[in-house]
Structure 1
Amino acid sequence: MTTTRPTLTVLDDYQGVALTSADWGPVRESHDVVVLRDHLPDEDAVVAALEGSEVVVVMRERTPFPASTLARLPRLRLLVTTGMRNAAIDVGAATARGVTVSGTTGSSTAVPELTIGMMIALMRGFAPEDAAVRAGGWQHTIGPGLSGRTLGIIGLGRLGVPVARLAQAFGMRVIAWSPNLTPERARPHQVEAVTKTELFAQSDVVTLHLPLSERSRGLVGADDLARLRPTAYLVNTSRGPIVDEAALLEALQAGRIAGAALDVYEREPLPADDPWRSAPRTLLLPHIGYVTTDVYREWYGQVVEDVVAWRGGEPLRVVTP
């Protein structure tokens, strides 16, 4: 008598590294493992790909799991997300349907490092100079350095603090604002807490490090961008919807700010005809702030632990509504 083994599906493995980032042997003892590299564009595609899966592994917020999708996946019993916070999963709906949601922990310097790297690359014109050299040219752009400039950080938390430290190492003055930031909380980090208006008026570079929520959605609007000097830059490695994208695009096209470096967008992956693909004075990356070999080894290693623990009846790192 043959029995059908349950299936575990790994979603959105864009680089094709999920299976080499951890030892999946303990998982293969109980499950057939399927890896999907291409993004599933809509709910119907998600359901068609996962209707036979008992366990699904998701990479951050690349694929949404609202209540409507969960209702169409009756075989799903475990949903594992990298990270402990995933706004794309309706955890309450999953829990109500008897689906366990587990996550992974760990901190990384990947996003702060990328933030500083994007600042330098944008301000010094790395991308256009690289393209010019490859086309036979030589020296076309000029831009400011970091030392002596003012960095405005929106969100002085888990990611904002290390960004502040890195910026200070380059000789930058650092100011910060968030809805709950106080001078007392900012002072130990040698950061000056300012008002939101002051931050946009004083900053040479503004960088965002807040989670996406109903409070933060659209937090940076046209009025804020209008306070930036024409020589100022904006960097967003947080979430696209925190910034009014239409207002930012208009400010760039009108030349009212010097440039923007973006790793996140309202729609991901960006559609082929998205206006961001041709936006002027921009450095665009495909949401790779956390994408390093070190992070993936840690996350996928913990994914394996989550699956094995759940299979043993003692789920690890359970995400609750």
Structure 2
Amino acid sequence: MPGNLPPSTIAGKPVNPIGYGMMNLTALGTVSHEDAIKSLKAAVDNGANFWNGGLFYGPPDANSLVLLNNYFTQYPEDATKVVLSVKGAYNYATLTPNCTPEGIRASVDEALRQLDGTHPIDLFECARIDPNVPVEDMVKTLAELIKEGKIGSYGLSEVNANTIRRAHAVHRCAGVEVEISLFSRHALEKGGIVDTCHELGIPIIGYGVLDRGWLSGQFKTLEDIPKNDPRHHFPRFQPGNFEQNMKLAEFIQGIAKKKGVTPAHVAIAWVKQHGVLTIPGATKASRVKENTQEVELTDSEMGEIQEALDKFEVAGFRYPELFAAGLSQ
């Protein structure tokens, strides 16, 4: 079993090993405001005190920041309990980052305007690396914003080990967000993202830990996923790939059954035991409560899972081709 533990602080503030990813609350417009508020309340009440939101998670009048403003207006006593990460400097409609000084500053200012003093930005992440802006220049802008008191720290999202080192050399990085799960293990390659972050003492923030539902035990066939669900556009949910990937999902379900926990518990624990702060993003308060329950895997269970990972190849890339250019830059 890896000896690393999830970070105990982000940007100098205490965080628990399991946080909360907010994207699904607002990105698709399918979750009612009332249910979103309930999910956030369940997160903070069950110890998931690191929240990860985004300016582009939904339209400007109904994104993560608008929801957060409403939440902390309703529950001002929870503001000091939460460490907030905000992603921005990205146009989701065109899939283009804007990490120029003007682009970053405009994004931070808009986030602060939408939060309207209800909560500070503890960690700001440019959602993707801008190919037209050297990462050193991007970090210089972020360092200026930290000095000005507009953000508490900066993080990186979907970057490779080399980019992490270049950024960290300019100004200390407070967190690296990466997709990591039993299905998506690229960050664990030797000398890669996880190794580099552990070496430099940078907290790792893991999203997609349930791989868009694969590891939650929600479905058995493609027919279990609604026809208009965006997962149908992801390679791992295509016919042929789906059936292959069910083999690993079913194995994890078997481990969970023997252990007396849910498949989500096993999936989250596996990521956590690689020294990663996980941010599962359930949309129902009951699921949020389930995901925050602490589960540890034994050395024997970790060994069983590794044997399955070696046996069952995952079919399909983690994102549609349209998004691939911006990943692991």
| The two structures share one fold, judged by TM-score above 0.5 | no
TM-score (norm 1): 0.32
Larger radius of gyration: 1
Larger helix fraction of residues: 2
Structure with greater contact order relative to length (CA < 8 Å, sep ≥ 6) = 2
TM-score (norm 2): 0.31
